[in-house]
Amino acid sequence: MLLLLLTAALGFADDEIPAIYQSSPNFSNAIGTGSLTVTATAEPTTLTFGNCIVFTLTIDRVRNPAKVHRPFLERTGFAVNRLDETVGDQRVVFRYQLWPNSTAVTEIPSMRFDYYYPESAEEMRLRTKYTEAIPIVVKPKEIVAPLYTLPERFSVPIAHDATPWTPPLGAWIAAPALLAILAYFWVYIWRMVNPQGARLAALQRHQAVRHAVAAIQRAERGGDPTGDVLKAFQAYLRERFNVTASAATPQELGEELNRRFPTDVATPVERLLREGDAARFGGASAVDFATRARDAILALESAS
């Protein structure tokens, strides 16, 4: 009597199923017959870990197959994905994909299905069916051997020292000292091989000498080397010894030099100037005129 009063008070959520029965947490909304069956199958039942099982739940002899709710599948031990459902004459089929979580999973557990059977006595209209548990075997993944095995000498890791190498203190001290010794010997050998070059390098501290040497070096690479060297040498004489600009010929420059230097110094310089003029204007050719001009600069600087 109490059940009838509750049914009348709550009304019907479905045309044929009282709401009180639908309040059950596992109710499937199915209206069954006396011969309703619930069966479960799985394919495959033996699989390699990482593969999936297709689990199929079939409900037969149900009066409202289009309104049956998909039953809840216990997720313990599996990752679950819902597939399709098929509705037929007094039949509904639900499919799932199951991925075992480990090789320790040995079965798909039994599944509960609650339904409504109106022909039964009032207190027995909510009925429950269970599927059979399905044993499964989950095999571990096979370890595939590599196509090529590295030789052992390549597979052993190289030992790494945690502390980076640093040279000892003696090396830091010896390196600069060695460089200084090498530089000293290089300068000494250069002075022995090229004594005039060493003197010329010292004289280049004077601005006029530095300008003359640089101009002579440029003149050697020019189109008129003898003429350009001669101009550079004459410019040196005017800048270094204040030779007047009016003294332009070798004779005039020689007279200026004779007033400032001894004859043994001035005469070779005057001869150099004459030979340069001769070579420049088509007379006798000058032999290594640039080198003789540098030697003349050394002689004048030594005598000044």
Q: Which of 299, 301, 304 is nearest to 264 (CA)?
A: 299
pLDDT at position 200: 57
Residues of the chain with pLDDT > 70, as a percent, come to 83
Residue identified by tokens 């059940």 is: 3
User: Residues 264, 172: contact at Cβ < 8 Å?
Assistant: no
Q: Which of 275, 220, 221, 213 is nearest to 250 (CA)?
A: 275
| Mean pLDDT value of segment 85-97 | 94
- Cα separation, 272 vs 260, in Å, equals 17
Parts of the chain belonging to CATH 2.60.40: 2-139
Determine the topology of domain 2-139 in CATH.
Immunoglobulin-like (2.60.40)
- The least confident of 10-14, 202-206, 249-253 is 10-14
Please check the confidence at residue 285 and state whether its pLDDT lies above 70. Answer: no
| Amino acid residing at 31 | I
Most confident of 142-156, 259-273, 279-293: 259-273
pLDDT, greater one: 199 or 110: 110
pLDDT, greater one: 30 or 11: 30
User: Residues 53, 62: contact at Cβ < 8 Å?
Assistant: no
Name the token pair of 104: 């320790």
- H-helix or E-strand spanning residue 266: helix 263-280
Prediction pTM value:
0.45
Q: What is the DSSP string of 13-43?
A: SSSSSBHHHHTSTTEEEEEEEEEEEEEEEEE
Would you place residue 9 in the very low, low, confident or very high pLDDT band (cuts 50, 70, 90)?
very low
pLDDT at position 3: 40
